Structure 1
Amino acid sequence: MHPTPVHPSAALFSGEKLVPALAPCEHYAGSEKLIHKALQLQAELGPVFDLTCDCEDGAAAGEEKAHAEMAARAIASDANRHGRVGARVHDASSAFWRADVDTLVGEAGDRLAYLTLPKAQRTADVIAMLDHIERRRVAAGLARAIPVHVLVETHGALRDVFEIAALPGLEVLDFGLMDFVSDHQGAIGFEAMRSPGQFEHPLLVRAKTRIVAAALANGLVPAHNVSLALRDPLATRNDAYRARHEFGFLRMWSVHPDQIRPIVEAMAPDASQAERASAILLAASEAQWGPIRHEGELHDRASYRYFWSVLRAAQAAGTALPSQVRERFFAG
């Protein structure tokens, strides 16, 4: 009688924080019209992208409360079929961020996928916002924690990024390219806000690699900034490919529906990678995660960990996986 196979997360990552297997694309929408258009697209494509309702840049002056209430209604609505809708609140220096949190957690907390915190200047800003989110969660009677994403887009946040990444409750570190470039007061040229400059300027290379390193060292997902090529799918795909394969980002923002599919395609493992990972991990599972030989190569726990990451990314991106893989590894 064969022993019950141990799940790879338990066998390979015992006691270790595993990077969340999130959708490879995060789509931002600010207006009610664009939010509902994105919800319709998410219903069609499935949860291969998350939707972020933008209460920071999306709200008109004087309409901040009404905007947060609109976002909360969208998150709590039946149109949110997959439960993968979050929100970005105002930053810690704003008079509106607490009200944003109160409204979103109070009115849609049980459906709220995450909250994104922008423009932190230091670790203390993030801690203050986390504390308020936790108080509102308890007051709302929510049993689950609300995952938090932190935007790194200032000198101070980049300086403190390893401290920030180590804070409890975080899920994602985002890079905010345009605000980061603007924070340099002209020292970085505008051409660095688009490709190829955004991948080549030494200060941006430093920022991106530091954010990715901090995120992965703390079990968080590093998310790349938006591409300015709004209606050029090939350029968007190339940006996403470089972000993924040259810098190690596991997720990327979109701000136009035409950017979603190219980002998902570029960020996801290709079919041959998923096929190889499937074959190796099925064989490893049968061997109770002991060493195996596959196509003339030796594989052990180190390569199993890598291939499990490949499979999780493929599954999150909606890649078709063999039925045996789905049943054994993803049925729960």
Structure 2
Amino acid sequence: MRIHPRDALFAGEAAPISLPVVDHYSGSEKLMRKSLALQAARGPVFDVTLDCEDGAQVGAEEAQVRLAAELLASPDNRYGRVGVRVHPVDHPAFAMELQILAAAPVAPAYLMLPKVDSRAQLDRGAASVQAAWGARPAPPLQALIETHGGLREVEAIAAHPALQSLSFGLMDFVSGHHGAIPRTALSLPGQFEHPLVARAKLAIAAAAHGHGKVPSHCVVTELKSPAKLQAAAERAAREFGYTRMWSIHPDQIQPILDAFAPSAAEVDEAIEVLEVAQDTQWGPIRLRDQLHDRASYRLFWSLLQRAHQTGQALPAQVRERFFS
């Protein structure tokens, strides 16, 4: 009897949360509908986040969240991978948004809470979400770290049991330094090279991984340069440890998928190791003169999951064995 990696490799501990590697944001009705149609056509290789914070016009917050609730229930939400960014926990619109979303016929896949400034604020937000949903399971939470307070308490925030992902908010973080971080840190390659920004990115990624959560990298605003975007996504994934990244234009989705996908050689090695390990009941093995055990199996399982999440064409027997 074959034991699945989920059951064999994480005995006594929770398996790390796994999410699609692209989080695609849209704010206007036209772009929301276009994003949902694109996801319905391409499959659940990316999430769609309907933006009720920055996407809403001032004074039109209720209309925006009602539109989001309508779209959650639309036929184009085919895979249940549509989330909603609401206003910050202490914003007057927050409670209203929760009330409308909790009454919607289809729940969001997650709620993104922006400007999370402390663990105490996150606790209040999570309690409000659960109260709105009552006896029903509440949607998982994602938190946007973009303030000094959020960065100071990032470990405690990452540990919250309702949280599944931490995102970095580059623009608010830079503006919160009141000119001490130059404008170049909002662009490429500056956002990877300014020490304060790089420190924040690394702290968020480390805290997320330390608590089994998904670190999600910030936006790249250079919309007309797929090569620059892909290079940035590769740095985010391979140098900074991020396993998810924001997209703000449909043309950004595929370059991010390509950058976060493991190489063909990595996938081939992962398949070989995992198949032999599973066939030998996950004990230590020697393969091509290298020793492997459960520590390396967990790495290879993560690589294979990411190949599946990014839409790579895996052999039929591999899909049946591990993802059916």
Percent identity between the aligned chains?
A: 50
User: Residue 16 of structure 2 corresponds to which residue in structure 1?
Assistant: 19
Provide TM-score, normalisation by structure 1.
Answer: 0.95
Amino acid at match of 1:43: A
The CA deviation string for residues 42-61 of structure 1, in whole angstroms up to 9 with x for no partner, is: 11211111000000011111
1:101 CA displacement? 1.5
Within the alignment, does 1:241 sit opposite 2:237 as a pair?
no
For the residues of structure 1 that align with 2:243 and 2:62, how far apart are their CA atoms? 33
User: Residue 132 of structure 1 corresponds to which residue in structure 2?
Assistant: 128
Paired residues of 1:105 and 1:136 also in contact (CA < 8 A): yes
Provide TM-score, normalisation by structure 2.
Answer: 0.97
Q: What is the 5 A alignment of 1:293-312?
A: 293-312=286-305
For the residues of structure 2 that align with 1:85 and 1:202, how far apart are their CA atoms? 34
Q: SS where residue 273 of structure 1 aligns?
A: helix
Aligned residues: 324
Within the alignment, does 1:90 sit opposite 2:87 as a pair?
yes
User: Residue 190 of structure 2 corresponds to which residue in structure 1?
Assistant: 197
User: Residue 164 of structure 2 corresponds to which residue in structure 1?
Assistant: 171
For the residues of structure 1 that align with 2:166 and 2:113, how far apart are their CA atoms? 10
Structure 1 residue runs without a partner (length 5+): none
1:302 CA displacement? 1.2
User: Residue 183 of structure 1 corresponds to which residue in structure 2?
Assistant: 176
Within the alignment, does 1:103 sit opposite 2:100 as a pair?
yes
1:158 CA displacement? 0.3
1:197 CA displacement? 1.0
Q: Cα RMSD (Å) of the superposition?
A: 1.1
Amino acid at match of 2:79: H
For the residues of structure 1 that align with 2:94 and 2:152, how far apart are their CA atoms? 23
For the residues of structure 1 that align with 2:107 and 2:264, how far apart are their CA atoms? 32
For residue 114 of structure 2, the aligned residue among 94, 112, 118 is 118
For residue 313 of structure 1, the aligned residue among 299, 306, 312 is 306
For the residues of structure 1 that align with 2:180 and 2:240, how far apart are their CA atoms? 23
User: Residue 6 of structure 2 corresponds to which residue in structure 1?
Assistant: 9
For residue 201 of structure 2, the aligned residue among 182, 197, 208 is 208
User: Residue 257 of structure 1 corresponds to which residue in structure 2?
Assistant: 250
Paired residues of 2:166 and 2:216 also in contact (CA < 8 A): yes
1:7 CA displacement? 1.1
Within the alignment, does 1:56 sit opposite 2:53 as a pair?
yes
Structure 2 residue runs without a partner (length 5+): none
User: Residue 140 of structure 2 corresponds to which residue in structure 1?
Assistant: 147
Moved more, 291-300 or 36-45: 291-300
For the residues of structure 2 that align with 1:105 and 1:318, how far apart are their CA atoms? 32
